[in-house]
Structure 1
Amino acid sequence: MRNLKKIGRVILTFLLMFVVAALIGILFMKHVLLNAKDLNQQLADSPYYTQIEESLSAKFKSLSLETSIPEEVFAEAAMDQYALRQLTRTNNEQALNYLVAPDSTYGAAADRSMFEEPVMAYVENYAADHNQPFDKDLQAQTAAVIDEATALFGSHTILLNLDNVIAYPQFQNFRKILQTVLAYFYLVPLAFFLIAGALVGLNWKLPHRSLIWIGSSFVSGSAFVIIPASVALSLKIPQRITVSADYINTALRALAMHYTVVLLVSGALVFFLGVACLVGYSLISKAKRAVYRQNRTYAAEMEQY
Structure 2
Amino acid sequence: MRNIKKIGRFILSFLLMFAVVAFIGVIFMKQVLLNASDLNQQLEGSLYYNQIEESLSANFRTLSLETSLPEEVFVEAAMDPYGLRELARTNNEQVLNYLIDPEATYATTNNRNIFVEPVTTYVENYAAEHKQPFDESLQAQTDAIIDEATALISSHTMLFNLDNVMPYPQFQTFRKILQTVLFYFYLVPLAFFLVAGALFCLNWKRPHRSLIWIGSSLVSGSAFVIIPAIVALSLKIPQRITVSTDYINTALRMLAMHYTTFLLVAGGLVFFLGTACLVGYNLISKAKRAAYRQNCAYAAEMEQY
Q: Name the TM-score, length of structure 2 as normaliser.
A: 0.99
Instruction: Give the structure 1 partner of residue 219 of structure 2.
Output: 219
Instruction: Give the structure 2 partner of residue 65 of structure 1.
Output: 65
Instruction: Give the structure 2 partner of residue 167 of structure 1.
Output: 167
Instruction: Give the structure 1 partner of residue 297 of structure 2.
Output: 297
Which residue identity does 1:2 align to in structure 2?
R
Runs of 4+ in 1 over 4 A off after TM superposition: none
Q: Give matches, 1:104-119, under 5 Å.
A: 104-119=104-119
Which residue identity does 2:16 align to in structure 1?
L
Cα deviation, 1:230-281, whole Å, max 9, x if unaligned, reads 1111111111111110000001000000000000100010001000000000
CA–CA separation in structure 1 for the residues paired with 2:153 and 2:97: 22
Which residue identity does 2:189 align to in structure 1?
P
CA–CA separation in structure 2 for the residues paired with 1:144 and 1:246: 27
Which residue identity does 2:186 align to in structure 1?
Y
Q: Give matches, 1:97-136, under 5 Å.
A: 97-136=97-136
Cα deviation, 1:146-170, whole Å, max 9, x if unaligned, reads 0000001110010111000001000
Q: Cα offset for 1:71?
A: 0.6
CA–CA separation in structure 1 for the residues paired with 2:200 and 2:234: 38
Q: Cα offset for 1:129?
A: 2.0
Instruction: Give the structure 2 partner of residue 10 of structure 1.
Output: 10
Q: Name the TM-score, length of structure 1 as normaliser.
A: 0.99
- Percent identity reads 77
Q: Cα offset for 1:132?
A: 2.0
- Out of 194-203 and 131-140, give the one that drifted further: 131-140
Which residue identity does 1:78 align to in structure 2?
A
Which residue identity does 2:52 align to in structure 1?
I
Q: Cα offset for 1:130?
A: 2.2
1:176 is the counterpart of 2:152: no
SS in 2 for 1:242: coil
Q: How many residue pairs align between the two structures? A: 305
Q: Cα offset for 1:62?
A: 0.1
Which residue identity does 2:184 align to in structure 1?
Y
Q: Cα offset for 1:293?
A: 1.1
Indicate the RMSD between aligned Cα atoms, in angstroms. Answer: 0.7
Instruction: Give the structure 2 partner of residue 192 of structure 1.
Output: 192
Which residue identity does 2:110 align to in structure 1?
A
CA–CA separation in structure 1 for the residues paired with 2:72 and 2:275: 62
Cα deviation, 1:99-123, whole Å, max 9, x if unaligned, reads 0000110001111000001111111
Q: Give matches, 1:262-301, under 5 Å.
A: 262-301=262-301
CA–CA separation in structure 1 for the residues paired with 2:78 and 2:123: 18
Which residue identity does 1:276 align to in structure 2?
A
CA–CA separation in structure 2 for the residues paired with 1:137 and 1:3: 88
SS in 2 for 1:163: coil
- Where in structure 2 are there 5+ consecutive unaligned residues? none
